[in-house]
């Protein structure tokens, strides 16, 4: 068969599967409906204007840590360990790369403050607030684990480089910029603590003969498969499941909170800001495409080296969503706190959120096609 014809038929078949995927349309509808509900309730003044902030605080401090920890309650595998290592290294490489790309993409902007803010917001998106719950809701906990491991680099960069760049301060200039203060901001975050705790317990399952529990600690329910004592989903399900339920609420509450935020913000001034639209186009369409190209090259190198399990579908899903999201709320907060193009940053946050909702529809469709191609391996 002609290779071009074969490729065309393959792409056509994958597109057909994508458009007829029930999971695709369920997730699209959930996203649109939950955001629309939050928007309408706030616009009609059925909820106070600060509802989005209150819900976000609850999710960031309760739901997302539960989600991060519970997602690691699964069996250890060697391939899973390799996947975790790939994502950890990949996170630092990609964030360093995108700090440079952000500078490159906006080098044409004459105002130095605008140029700086556009570049920082481009490199650091709202991964925890926007991306992570959506990845887990659409692609499951395995993709969520990859997302969290990659997010270690995000938090290091967000609380060090982004903070110092926006504030204009240097390390050690005052108590807020001391090395110890920056480390506290990075590592005392509830989500990162939960991620490291869950990751550690997951890796400890690799210890020989550690799997010894056949039943949970409270009842006489037995399990055919032996697990480690700290596999709480099996050993203490009566304690694990309430935390899992809290974690599963993340995506629903976050989508509703996004709608509330959009409903309490003026769209008129934001839509007139050309920088907000340029930033959104680059962030939602170009940045994920660059990441996709990098991952495709890495996987192609792996296949050429007779190792076709270098880049998993979970890694692909988490990476695309990491760079498709609106700007990090913390980074926008830096702009407001230090009066560094705060109006533009707020406009980018609003337009970027709207653009990311459209981006979800586009990239979920693209990823559905790629899932069916067989190029990236299913972990």
- Residue ranges with strand state E in the chain: 213-215, 222-227
Does a structural domain hold residue 1? no
Question: Is 28 a residue whose pLDDT tops 70?
Answer: no
What mean pLDDT is reported for the chain? 79
Report yes or no on 157 lying in a domain. yes
Beta bridge partners of 213: 227
**Cα–Cα distance between 207 and 205 in angstroms, integer?**
5
Using CA atoms, how far apart are residues 345 and 269, in angstroms rounded to an integer?
Answer: 12
pLDDT of residue 4: 44
> Alpha carbon of 109 to those of 115, 164, 267, 329: distances in Å?
6, 21, 24, 23
CATH number for the domain that contains residue 50: 1.20.1530
Query: How many folded domains does the chain comprise?
Result: 1
Residue 7 within any structural domain of the chain: no
Range from 88-92, 112-116, 165-169, 197-201 carrying the lowest mean pLDDT: 165-169
**pLDDT confidence bin for 1, thresholds 50/70/90:** very low
User: Above 80 in pLDDT, residue 161?
Assistant: yes
Q: Is residue 5 part of a domain?
A: no
CA angle at 257 for the pair 50 and 317, rounded to the nearest 5°: 150
With respect to residue 4, please indicate whether it lies within any of the assigned structural domains.
Answer: no
Q: CB atoms < 10 A from the CB of 153, how many? A: 20
- 41 within domain boundaries: yes
What residue spans of 188-236 are helical by DSSP H? 190-204, 232-235
Structural domain of 175: 12-373
Residue 222 pairs with which residues in a beta bridge?
A: 215
Q: Considering only 160-164, 265-269, 273-277, which range has the smallest mean pLDDT?
A: 265-269
pLDDT confidence of residue 339:
77
Q: Kindly state whether residue 3 falls inside one of the protein's structural domains.
A: no
For residue 89, tell me if it sits in a domain: yes
- pTM for the whole thing? 0.74
The helix (run of H) or strand (run of E) holding residue 263 is helix 250-263
Cα–Cα nearest to 265, from 322, 358, 329, 338:
329
């Amino acid at each position: 068969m002609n290779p071009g014809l074969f490729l065309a038929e393959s792409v056509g078949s994958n597109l057909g599967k994508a458009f007829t995927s029930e999971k695709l349309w369920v997730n699209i509808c959930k996203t649109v409906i939950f955001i629309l509900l939050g928007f309408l309730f706030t616009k009609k003044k059925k909820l106070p204007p600060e509802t989005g902030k209150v819900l976000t605080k609850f999710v960031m401090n309760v739901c997302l840590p539960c989600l991060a920890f519970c997602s690691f309650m699964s069996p250890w595998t060697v391939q899973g360990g390799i996947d975790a290592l790939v994502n950890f290294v990949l996170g630092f490489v990609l964030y360093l790369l995108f700090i440079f790309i952000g500078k490159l993409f906006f080098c044409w902007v004459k105002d130095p403050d605008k140029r700086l803010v556009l570049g920082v917001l481009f490199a650091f998106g709202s991964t925890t607030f926007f991306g992570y719950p959506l990845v887990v809701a659409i692609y499951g906990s395995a993709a969520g684990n990859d997302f969290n491991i990659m997010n270690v680099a995000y938090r290091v960069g967000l609380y060090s480089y982004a903070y110092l760049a926006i504030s204009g301060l240097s390390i050690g200039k005052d108590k807020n910029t001391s090395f110890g203060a920056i480390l506290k901001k990075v590592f005392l975050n509830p989500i990162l603590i939960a991620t490291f705790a869950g990751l550690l317990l997951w890796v400890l399952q690799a210890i020989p003969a550690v799997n010894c529990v056949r039943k949970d600690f409270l009842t006489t329910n037995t399990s055919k498969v032996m697990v480690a004592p700290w596999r709480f989903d099996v050993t203490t399900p009566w304690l694990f499941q309430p935390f899992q339920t809290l974690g599963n609420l993340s995506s629903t509450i976050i989508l509703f909170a996004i709608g509330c935020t959009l409903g309490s913000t003026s769209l008129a001034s934001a839509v007139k800001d050309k920088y907000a639209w340029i930033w959104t186009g680059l962030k939602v369409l170009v940045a994920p495409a660059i990441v996709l190209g990098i991952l495709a090259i890495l996987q192609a190198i792996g296949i050429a080296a007779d190792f076709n399990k270098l880049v998993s579908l979970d890694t692909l899903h988490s990476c695309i969503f990491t760079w498709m999201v609106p700007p990090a709320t913390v980074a926008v907060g830096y702009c407001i706190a230090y009066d560094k193009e705060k109006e533009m940053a707020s406009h980018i946050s609003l337009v970027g959120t709207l653009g990311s909702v459209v981006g979800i529809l586009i990239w979920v469709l693209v990823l559905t096609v790629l899932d069916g191609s067989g190029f990236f391996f299913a972990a």
